[in-house]
Structure 1
Amino acid sequence: MQKIIVIDDDRTYLQVLQRRLQQTGNYEVAVYASVATALQQPAQQVNAILLDMMLEQESGLDGIPLLKAHFNPTQLIMLTGYASIATTVEAMRRGATDYLAKPVGLHEIIQRLSGSTTGLVTESPKPMTPAQVEWEHIQRTLLAHDGNVTATAKALGLHRRTLQRKLQKHSPGR
C-alpha cells in the first residue's frame, strides 16, 4: 500500500480526495491544511506528496524542499488552479516531479501516482492567445520579484491596482 500525503487548504477537497484514494485500496492517505502542519509529523518515507501551490498562509513552492527533506517522497506533484509556464518551471526547479492544473480528476491523479501516462491524450501545442501571453509575462515578472505585487507592477509599467485586478482573474484558458 502506497503512503500518500495531500496538502491543501480546502478542507472539503482534502476529505473527498482522501476518501476516494483510500477507496481504491491502494493508498494510505494523510491530509494536512498546511506545509507547517505536515512538517510537525515524524519524518518518514512516503511514496508521494500532492501539494497545492496556493495555500492560505504560505506558498506550496516554498514548502517543496522542506517536504522533500522531511518525507523523501518518490513523487511530489504540484496541484494548482493558477497554472502557468513560469510557476511550472519554478516548481520543477525546486524539486517537484510533476505538475497538474486543477480541476483534476481522480483518474488522472491515480495515473500520475502510478507513473503511467497511457491513455493520456497528447495534443499538439496550440498557439497562445494574447491573453495567455500576457498572463505568462505577468507570472514570470511576479516570480522574478518574489511575489511582490508593487515591484511587479512597477516593472510592468502598470498601476498596482490594475495588476491586482489582472491577478484576481483566473488564468486564461488554454
Structure 2
Amino acid sequence: MPREGGDVAPHGCRTRDGTQSLLLVDDDRTFLLRMSRELEQRGFDVVTADGLADGLERLRLDPPACAVVDLRLGDGSGLDLIAALRQARQDVRAIVLTGYGNIATAVSAVKLGAVDYLTKPAEVEDIVAALACDGEARAEPPENPMSADRVRWEHIQRVFELCDRNVSETARRLSMHRRTLQRILAKRAPR
C-alpha cells in the first residue's frame, strides 16, 4: 500500500505478502527517528532497534526483507547483526552505515552479506538507491580520490581487522610502536 511519500521502495525489499519490511538499527536516537520517518515516507514498513541485542530480538521475531545497520553499536558490532540477518533470511538486502569508514570493515560487511556500505551522514536517497541497486551498476569514479594519509590509514585499519583487532599484533606486523598505533586508531580517518 503506497504511503504519502510514494511507493518507491525497491522490489528486492518486498516480503512474500508484498510489504516492504526494513529493520533500522542505530544507537543514535536522533538519527534513528529521523531516518525511520524518512524511510516510512518512501514506502517502507520500518522496525527500529537501538542496539545489537534489540536488533537480534527484532530479527528473531520477524526477519525483514531489508536492513540498514550502523557498524558501531553501543552493545556490539553491526557486523554480527548482518551475519544473523543472512542466516535468518538468505534474500535480505542489508546496508551497513558508519561514521568510521574504512576498507577492511567494508570488505567484512560485504563478505557477511551486506549489499553496500555507506558512510555517515548518509542521505535517505543514497540508502534507497543502494537498496535498489541490482549489483550490475558500476560505481562512478570518485570526484576526490583518497589522499596519501587516508590510504595509509586504510592500510592500518585493514591490518588491524586482519589481526582480529589486536593492537599488539598489528603494531608488530606494521613494525610500529604500539602507542603510536593506538593514537592512530583513536583518531578519525583523514580526508
Q: Using the TM superposition, give the Cα deviation of residue 12 of structure 1 relative to its aligned residue in structure 2, in angstroms.
A: 1.3
Confirm whether residue 144 of structure 1 aligns to residue 162 of structure 2: yes
- Equivalent residue number for residue 95 of structure 1: 113
Inter-partner Cα distance in structure 2 for 1:136 and 1:157: 16
- Structure 1 unaligned blocks of 5 or more: none
Confirm whether residue 11 of structure 1 aligns to residue 26 of structure 2: no
- Structure 2 unaligned blocks of 5 or more: 1-18
Between 103-112 and 56-65, the greater mean CA deviation after superposition: 56-65
State how many pairs are aligned.
Answer: 170
Letter in 2 for 1:143: E
Give the fraction of aligned pairs with identical amino acids, expressed as a percent. Answer: 38
- Equivalent residue number for residue 62 of structure 2: 44
Cα distance change, pair 126–23 in 1 and its aligned pair in 2 (3 A): closer
Inter-partner Cα distance in structure 1 for 2:73 and 2:36: 18
Q: Using the TM superposition, give the Cα deviation of residue 160 of structure 1 relative to its aligned residue in structure 2, in angstroms.
A: 2.5
Conserved 8 A contact 2:86-2:112: no
Letter in 2 for 1:32: A
Superposition RMSD on alpha carbons, in Å?
2.4
Confirm whether residue 29 of structure 1 aligns to residue 46 of structure 2: yes
Inter-partner Cα distance in structure 2 for 1:83 and 1:124: 15
Which of 85, 89, 109 is the aligned partner of 1:67? 85
Conserved 8 A contact 1:49-1:73: no
- Equivalent residue number for residue 5 of structure 2: none
Cα distance change, pair 5–72 in 1 and its aligned pair in 2 (3 A): farther
Confirm whether residue 165 of structure 1 aligns to residue 179 of structure 2: no
Letter in 2 for 1:31: T
Q: Using the TM superposition, give the Cα deviation of residue 73 of structure 1 relative to its aligned residue in structure 2, in angstroms.
A: 4.8
TM-score (norm 1): 0.85
Inter-partner Cα distance in structure 2 for 1:2 and 1:45: 12
Cα distance change, pair 165–140 in 1 and its aligned pair in 2 (3 A): same
- Equivalent residue number for residue 110 of structure 1: 128
SS of the residue corresponding to residue 137 of structure 1 reads helix
Inter-partner Cα distance in structure 2 for 1:113 and 1:6: 13
